[in-house]
Amino acid sequence: MTTSWNRKDQHIHYAEMQYNQPKSNGLDGVRFVHQSFSEISVKDVSLHTNLDTLNLDVPFFINAMTGGSDKAAIINKNLAYVARETNLAMAVGSISIALNDPTQQESFKIVRKTNPNGMIFANLGAHHSVENAKRAVDLIEANALQLHLNTPQELVMPEGDRDFSSWLKNIESIVNRLNVPVIVKEVGFGMSKETIQQLIDVGVTIIDVAGKGGTNFIEIENQRRELKEYSYLYDWGQTTAESLLEARKFASQASIVSSGGIKTPLDMLKSFGLGAVATGLSGEFLHLILTKGTDETIHQIERFKEELTHLMVLVGAKSIATIKDQPLVLDSHLTNWCYQRHLPIN
């Protein structure tokens, strides 16, 4: 059986291999209606946003990626440096391996050492106990905990979990007993309105819908299988756009985060137009770190900030929260999705 730290390095390798594959997060089916008069200035725009009680100066962040190997430690150190220099929040990959193997803790601790004052999210699977949740938070002095939902990945993973009956109950216990905010996120298969309602019912107030269109963990785990027999599942799940449409009616009950194939400030703007208040990028930042290095990644993030500010002026929105008030048009696929799922189009 493949050791856990080798599996972590395989994840990095296969995620980067997927970067240039043609995929759609569904946001190409979302268009803003151009208005010739903006009536605001660049200096009027604020990129500040809130995830429940978490205050973010920038509405996009480095989403969960890696940890648990020597290679992952280097990547996490570089990402933490970038986050520090650009004032971005950052989530680490699943800390589960470090709870079982103390020799792997440094690959996560390096993030807090590199960015001592930054906004950092710990990450664990939804099956973990309250005690493990507390240990994960303490390990990196995290400001919040991400609990990831990854049933398809686990089922395709040769050594993955096979019992998911306790996940929702575990989430409720952690939400009620942890002293930092809890973010529940998918890992790239999207969320339905039914799932979002279940999470809200157990007290979750920050939800990352993490739609299809970015890194595909069914494909990654299938590549690790000898027969590669699950290739027919590569299109499983809801896209980021479909997931945001599922989440729109819950915007007053939870802070919605978009992720899954987000690559450009226009993707971000469209996500905010569909009701998200922040967006996470994983594959884009991993690719930049691996191929361009930290300095170019920093420059790209600063360009993203400037470009997003300009796009907000283009649609006449002074704040992230008001982007959703701007008129949008959905393509036929998304309107059909709304029709069949009984979701409002406007």
The answer to the question of whether 260 is labelled as a binding residue is no
Q: Tell whether 192 is in a known binding site.
A: no
The response to whether 87 counts as a known ligand-binding position is no
Which residue in the block uniquely carries the two structure tokens 């009616």?
249
8 is in an annotated binding site: yes
With contact defined as beta carbons under 8 Å apart, do 338 and 345 qualify? yes
Is 305 annotated as belonging to a binding site?
no
Element holding 172 (H helix, E strand): helix 167-177
Q: Is 263 annotated as a binding residue?
A: yes
DSSP letter string over 113-143?
Answer: HHSTTS-EEEEEETT--HHHHHHHHHHHT-S
Beta bridge partners of 307: none
Are the C-beta atoms of 311 and 266 separated by less than 8 Å? yes
Any binding-site annotation on 64? yes
Is 43 a known ligand-binding residue? Answer: no
170 annotated as a binding-site residue: no
On whether 211 is known to bind a ligand per the annotation, the reply is: no
Annotation-wise, does 268 bind a ligand?
A: no
Instruction: Collect all residues with Cβ–Cβ distance below 8 Å to 50 and sequence separation of at least 6.
Output: 56, 255, 277
**Annotated binding residue at 23?**
no
- Both tokens of 233, joined, read 């599942």
| 15 among annotated binding-site residues | no
For 175-243, the DSSP string reads HHH-SS-EEEEESSS---HHHHHHHHHTT--EEE---BTS--HHHHHHHTSSS-TTGGGTT-S-BHHHH
205 marked as binding residue:
no
Contact 108, 130 (CB under 8 A): no
Report how far apart, in Å, the C-alpha atoms of 34 and of each of 31, 118, 308 are: 9, 37, 16
Flag whether 154 is marked binding. Answer: yes
Cβ pair 119, 90 in contact under 8 A: yes
| 146 in a labelled binding site | no
Which residues fall in the annotated binding site? 7-8, 64-66, 94, 123, 153-154, 185, 215, 261-263, 282-283
Which residues fall in the annotated binding site for FMN? 64-66, 94, 123, 185, 215, 261-263, 282-283
Which residues fall in the annotated binding site for substrate? 7-8, 153
Which residues fall in the annotated binding site for Mg(2+)? 154
